[in-house]
Structure 1
Amino acid sequence: MRKNVIITGASRGIGKSIALRFSKENFNVFIFGRDENELKKVKSEIEKNNAYCEYFIGDVADLTFVKNSIEQILTKEEKIDVLINNAGIAIFKKFIDTSLEDFKNQINANVIGVFNFTKAVIENMIENKNGTVINIVSQAGKNGFDFGTTYSATKHAVMGFSKSLMLEVRKFDIRIITVCPGSTDTEMIKNSPIHKNNKQFLSPKDVAEITYSIVNLPQNALVSDIEIRPNNP
């Protein structure tokens, strides 16, 4: 029986690589994003691996969209096995140049989106006494850095959310896991002031491989947090 994985922010970068990695295994893959053209391309690549894929276009901060989408999936599938909250944005600016709107936009994508998707699947996981939620955070969830004050604040919020929820739901055999990559070669980093030499960065495939390996751990084993760094920065 195939398992079901939901991945947000799957149109490119880390999310796309995770979706493709899971499609090579025994998973139906449900991908979320805002760029329909890119989602179609990812779906096509997934189907080349003989995996079922369905894509959903919308805003992760829109709870109605999220709930309706998850309900649509659960009309066809018995349960959600894995949720990977990857969607997010980063606005790298000096704090003095950062607007409240910049901060709110990051909160919506990086924090509210995680809340909405987790809220939408957690009851199903509790009912089935099984499930894994992986939140792709960042080293910014543990450390501050220049130009990243508000971005780092949102990632710290996700770390606190994840640690607390893990304690609440582990008794139902549900794993809440944070994955914290260092600088990864994505468009987000390329467009940032911290981008220097992408040869020193992780690749999205590195993060995807480690994310898949975590899901493959025995269900009674919980690795609550993973830090990933380039081996030779």
Structure 2
Amino acid sequence: MAVEMLANKRVLIIGATGGIGSEAAKLIAGSKARLYLAGRDADKLKAVADACKVPHDHTFQMDVADAASVQSVADQLHQELGQLDILINAAGVGYLKKFENIELDDFSRLIDINLKGAFIVMQAFLPPMKDAKKGLIINIPGVLGKAPMAAAAAYAASKYGLNGMVKSLREELKRTQVRLTNLYLGGVDSAFWDDIDMPVNRDKFISAQEAGRAVWFLCQQPTSGVVSEMVIQPFNHQVI
């Protein structure tokens, strides 16, 4: 059934070189979608494309914080496809630090990528969806986009902002069939934790494979409805 629902759907994954994006890409590619991949690292992007058997001309080196870079990709895809059926924004950066240890440059980078980047991406790819009055956009604010946590002031600021932006945009799109989904993942065993100086038991976290499967599942929403939000957390990490 999943293959039937996604077959020939025009899907772009932004942040395809990350743990969640790359795992989602494998499943979506296996569902016979017309899959396109974007990411900052050209070598990693090629590796993901090869693993998913996605043609290299379906890949785009892109920085979500660079509006010109994003718009160039959007223009190319819209010229070729007309519009996307599904846009998945899996791009993001993060760290956890006590408030007094947060550097201003680091704070700005979180806002630039996690919040402004999502703004730039949706402004570039949304107009053809609005014109067609259909489409699906999936963002991943994570649980720190709706629940507080010590040492997460900077990261949560970027993700709470994303949460609020998407919910407000949803109000603007009510007269269309453009659907917006927020995926709140908590405790995913990904590269996010590699440099975090905090005692955590990653063995009990959600695997990147299961997080990718959640994205793949959300791509199969029926046209008669929408999953506005989905929350997935480890049992030992439940905060919502």
| Residue identity opposite 2:97 in structure 1 | K
Shift of 1:154: 0.5
Shift of 1:72: 0.6
Q: Do residues 206 (structure 1) and 196 (structure 2) align?
A: no
Moved segments of 4+, more than 2 Å: none
Q: For residue 122 of structure 1, what is the aligned residue in structure 2?
A: 126
> Matched residues in 1 for 2:202 and 2:212: separation?
18
> Given that residues 93 and 148 in structure 1 are in contact (C-alpha distance below 8 angstroms), is that contact kept between their aligned partners in structure 2?
yes
Shift of 1:132: 0.4
* Secondary structure of 1:222's aligned partner: coil
Q: For residue 25 of structure 1, what is the aligned residue in structure 2?
A: 31
> Matched residues in 2 for 1:170 and 1:219: separation?
14
1:115-153 Cα shifts (integer Å, max 9, x gaps) = 111111111101111100000111100112122110011
> Matched residues in 2 for 1:58 and 1:165: separation?
24
> Matched residues in 1 for 2:122 and 2:235: separation?
32
Shift of 1:193: 2.8
Q: For residue 80 of structure 2, what is the aligned residue in structure 1?
A: 76
> Matched residues in 1 for 2:99 and 2:158: separation?
14
Q: For residue 104 of structure 1, what is the aligned residue in structure 2?
A: 108
Shift of 1:232: 5.4
Match for residue 230 of structure 1 among 230, 234, 237: 234
Q: TM-score, normalised by structure 1?
A: 0.93
Q: Using a 3 Å threshold, how does the CA distance of structure 1 residues 135 and 195 change in structure 2: closer, same or farther?
A: farther
Match for residue 9 of structure 1 among 7, 15, 27: 15
Shift of 1:202: 0.3
> Given that residues 13 and 204 in structure 1 are in contact (C-alpha distance below 8 angstroms), is that contact kept between their aligned partners in structure 2?
yes
Q: TM-score, normalised by structure 2?
A: 0.91
> Given that residues 28 and 52 in structure 1 are in contact (C-alpha distance below 8 angstroms), is that contact kept between their aligned partners in structure 2?
no
Aligned residues: 230
State percent identity of aligned pairs. 29
> Matched residues in 2 for 1:142 and 1:193: separation?
23
> Matched residues in 1 for 2:178 and 2:191: separation?
32
Unpaired runs of 5+ residues, structure 1, are none
Shift of 1:194: 3.7
Unpaired runs of 5+ residues, structure 2, are 1-6
Q: RMSD of aligned C-alpha atoms? A: 1.5
